[in-house]
Amino acid sequence: MDANSIISSLTGKFPEDIYDAEIESDIRTIAKVKPENVVEVCRYLKEDLSFGHLCCEFGVDYPDRNEIEVIYVIGSYEHPVILTMKALLPRDNPEIESVVPVYWNANWYERETYELFGVKYLNHPDLKPLVLPEEMLGEWPLRKDYAGFPNKTARNLV
Amino acid sequence: MDETVGPSEMIVHLGPQHPMMPGPFRLNAKLRGETVVDSEVEMGWIHKGIEKILESKTYLQGITIVDRICYLAAMTNEEAYVGCVEKLAGIEVPERAQYIRVIMEELSRLQSHILGMGEYASFVGFVSMFMYTIRDREDVMSLIDSVTGARVTHSFLRYGGVKDDLPDGFKDDVKYVFGNLRKAIDKYEELYSTDSIYKARTKGIGVLTADVAKDLGVSGPPLRATGVAFDIRKDEPYLVYDDLDFKVCTQTDGDVYARIQVRLDEMRESMYIIEQCLDQIPEGPLFPENTAYGKRSPVMRIPAGEAFHRVEDPRGEMGFYVVSDGSDKPYRVKIRGPVYPTLQTLPPLLKGVPVADIVAIAGSMDTCTSEVDR
Amino acid sequence: MDEVEQTNVEQNDVLDVGYTDVPGTMLTDSNAIADFLKKTKIQDVLNWGRKNSLWFMVNAMGCCGVELLATGMAHYDTDRFGIIPRNSPRHADVLIISGYVTKKYLPALKRVWDQMPAPKWVICFGDCAISGGPFYESYSTHQNVDDIFPVDVFVPGCPPRCEALIQGFVELQKKIEAKKDKGTDY
C-alpha cells in the first residue's frame, strides 16, 4: 500500500471526479475532487483503501480567484500515507454535501467551517455554531474582507 | 439533544464554571432519576481566534502565540508549527539541536502526565495523591526552568535550531531528580493498584472498544488503552526518534483504570528516552551554517506552497497545516488539536451511567479545553 | 460589549414591620449600623480579621489558571497566609480573573460575581485580564475588564510566577488595612 498504487486505483475508479492528482513524497499525496460526489469518494477511500482516520477538514478563502476551497486531510491507522483532497466552491454561494455518514468525527469540523466561512453543508444532522456566540453568526470572521479585525479597543497597553 | 422532557426527567447544565480543572465547557445532561439518558457538550467559552491572529504576525512572532494553544504541554505545539514551516522552506536542523528538542519535549510530556494523573485522582476523591503529584511536578518544572527560563510558556524553538544550549551540570540535575521520581512513580502505582475503593470506582467504567474508538477518530492514550498501537513517534518518525529505543505502551481493557495505567507506563518510557539522549548527544552547532535562517534574521520569506506536519502530543495527535504565498506572513494556518475528537465521544459513552460517574469518565480523557476552542 | 445582564441577587431593603416607633427603643437596619461603625476603631479590628482570611474562587480560564492552581497547592503554599481555594461563589471573598474574558463568557462571569456576598474584591492576574495580552487584536475577547469590575490589584506577566501572585495578595492586604480598597459596600 504505497502512494503510487493508491493514486492509480483512485483515478481508475473515479475518472471524472478526481483531477490534478500528484505525488509529493512517498507518504504525501494530493488530489482535487468535484464537489458533487464527495460522499462516494470518501466511502470508497474508507472501505477499500483503509483510509479510516479523518485528520481534519477546513476552508481557505481566495478572494482574488473568487473561490473558497474546502480541504480534507485523510490518514489511516494501518499505513502512513496521507491524502489531501480539495474541493473548489464559488465564493458567493458555497454549498457542499456533508461527509458525516462516512466519518463520524466530521461533525464538529463542519460546524466550525460553517460559522467561520459561511459554507453550507447539506444533510448535516445539527448545523449550529460551535465556538462563536449566537450574536456573531453571519459575520464569517475568517474571510479576508472581515471588518472587525484588528480590534483596537485595548487601553492599558504599555 | 432533544429538549423535550418526559415524566420524572430533568435537564441539568453543568458549567461553564465548574470544579473540574481543565477549562470552561458546558455539559447538558438529561437525567431520569439518577441515570443519564442523553447529553451534549457545548464549547466556545475561551475562543480567541488564534488562526486569524497568526495571519497578521510574521513567522517569528507566531512562535510566542502558538505556545499558548495548549498550555499544559507547550513544547509540542511549537514543534508542530516550526516543523511545518521547516518542511516548506527546506531547512535542515543540526544534530545537537535535534537531541535538545527531543529532551525538552519529553520533559514537557512528563510534567503533563503527572498533572493529568494527579488531577484525576482529585476528581474521584483521592485528594492526598493530588498533593503528592503536584509537589513532584515542581521538580520537573525547575529542570525546564533552568534550560528555557520560563515555567509554562517557553518560546524556546527557532527555525533551524533552538534558542540556547543546555546549562552546565544538567546531567547531574537530571540524575538526581529522576532518582526520586522513579521511587515516587512506583509508590503511586502501588497506591493505585491496591486500593479497593479506587478500583471499585474505575474498573469497568466508561469502556471504549477498539472498533468504536477507531470509528470515532480517537488518538493518544485513550486509543492505546483499547489495544491499538498507534503512535506517531513510531509510524512517521520525526527528529531523532528512529535512533532511540522505546516501546509503545498499550493495555487491552479500555476502561478508566487502563487509561491511567497507560499514562504511568508512558512516564517511565519518557525518563528512559531522556537518559538515552543525554548519553548519545554529540557536540556541534545549534543552527545551520551559511544560510539566512542561520543568522537568526527576523524577516524570513518562505517560498509558496502548503505542508502538513503532525507530532505526538501527550493527549494524542497534533497537526498543523500551513498555506504560504511567498511573503513573510502565513496566508492560512489550520490547527488540528488532539482533544477535538476525544470530546465528541462523551455523549455515547455517558448513556446509562449514574451521575456520580460523569466526572470520573470525563476527567479520565484528560481534556484541555483551550486547544478545542483555540 | 455594553449590555450585560444584571442579576440583582442581594436585596438590602428595609423590612416593613407595620409600626414605626416602639417606646423606649430605636429602630435601625444593618446598613446604618455599618456606616456608623466605619468611623470608629472597631472597623480596624474587622479589617484585620478580613485581610487575614481571604478565600478565593477557583475559576481557571486560561494559561494563568495553571499557575493559579500551582500557587494554592504544596510548595508555594498560600494556606500559611490564610488563603484557601473554594469552589462555590457563596463561600468566596476574592474573584481572581486569571486569563482572557471572551464575549461568550462575560455574562456567566458577571453572574458569578453577583452571587458572591459582600465584602468582595477582584484581582486581575496576567496580561490578558489587564489589556488583552498577546490577543489584544482578537475579534472575540473583551479587552478592558476594569470597565465592569472594580479591580484592586493588577499582577502583570505572561504568565506571572507564583511568587508574584503571593505578592499581589500581600498588596491587597495592605490596601484593606489602609481602608483604600474598592470592595463593595459592606
CATH of the domain at C35: 3.40.50.12280
CB–CB contact A131 B47 (8 Å): yes
Q: Where are the domains of chain A?
A: 3-136
User: Which run of H or E residues covers position A47?
Assistant: helix A38-47
Compare CB distances from C139 to A148, A155, A157 and report the shortest one's residue. Answer: A148
Please report residues of A whose CB lies closer than 8 A to that of C138.
149, 151
> What is the C-alpha to C-alpha distance for residues B253 and B364, in angstroms, rounded to an integer?
14
Q: Where are the domains of chain B?
A: 9-373
> What is the C-alpha to C-alpha distance for residues B142 and B159, in angstroms, rounded to an integer?
26
pLDDT at A25 over 50: yes
> What is the C-alpha to C-alpha distance for residues A139 and A128, in angstroms, rounded to an integer?
14
| Structural domain contains residue C113 | yes
CB–CB contact C143 A136 (8 Å): no
Please report residues of A whose CB lies closer than 8 A to that of C139.
141, 146, 148-149, 151
pLDDT at C15 over 70: no
| Structural domain contains residue C139 | yes
> What is the C-alpha to C-alpha distance for residues B320 and B85, in angstroms, rounded to an integer?
10
pLDDT at A40 over 50: yes
The whole-number average pLDDT for the span B14-20 is 76
Q: What is the DSSP letter of C168?
A: H
pLDDT at position B294 is 55
Residue B305 backbone dihedrals phi, psi, to 5 degrees: 155, -175
Please report residues of A whose CB lies closer than 8 A to that of B310.
55
CB–CB contact A55 B319 (8 Å): yes
| Structural domain contains residue C63 | yes
Q: Which region, left, alpha or beta, applies to residue C109 given φ > 0 means left and ψ of -120 to 50 means alpha?
A: alpha
Q: In CATH, what number does B9-373 get? A: 1.10.645.10
pLDDT at C60 over 50: yes
> Interface partners of A (3+ CB pairs, < 8 Å)?
B, C
Interface of C with B in 71-110 (CB under 8 A): 73-75, 87, 99-100, 102, 104-105, 108-109
pLDDT at B103 over 90: yes
Round the CA-based radius of gyration of chain A to a whole number and report it: 18
Which of C154, C172, C163, C160 has the alpha carbon at shortest distance from C71? C163
> How do A28-33 and A82-90 pair as beta strands?
parallel
Q: What share of chain B in percent tops pLDDT 90?
A: 24
Burial pattern B154-192, b for ≥16 Cβ within 10 A else e, equals bbbbbbbbbbeebeeeeeeebeebbeebeebbeebeeeb
**A3-136 domain in CATH 3.40.50.12780?**
no
Count the domains in chain C: 1
Show the domain range for C143: 30-177
CB–CB contact A149 C139 (8 Å): yes
The terminus-to-terminus CA distance of chain B in angstroms comes to 25
With cell 502530543, the residue in question is B313
- Model-level pTM? 0.88
Compare CB distances from C139 to A135, A141, A155 and report the shortest one's residue. Answer: A141
Q: ipTM of the predicted structure? A: 0.91
Q: Which of B4-8, B344-348, C82-86 shows the lowest per-residue confidence on average (mean pLDDT)?
A: B4-8
Compare CB distances from C131 to A141, A146, A154 and report the shortest one's residue. Answer: A154
Please report residues of B whose CB lies closer than 8 A to that of A147.
none
Compute CA distances B10 → A24, A146, B29, B352, B356, whole Å.
Answer: 55, 42, 8, 15, 16
Q: What pLDDT digit, counting tens, does each position of A65-78 carry?
A: 888 999 999 988 88
pLDDT at C2 over 50: no
**B236 at the A interface (CB within 8 A)?**
yes
pLDDT at C4 over 60: no
| CB of A54 closer than 8 Å to CB of A72 | yes
CA distance A16 to chain B (A): 25
CB pairs B-C closer than 8 Å:
86
The whole-number average pLDDT for the span C37-62 is 86
> What is the C-alpha to C-alpha distance for residues C62 and C113, in angstroms, rounded to an integer?
18
pLDDT at position C186 is 45
Is the model more confident about C22 or about B34? B34
Q: Which of B306-320, C103-117, C127-141, C171-185 shows the lowest per-residue confidence on average (mean pLDDT)?
A: C171-185
| Structural domain contains residue C51 | yes
| CB of C60 closer than 8 Å to CB of C99 | yes
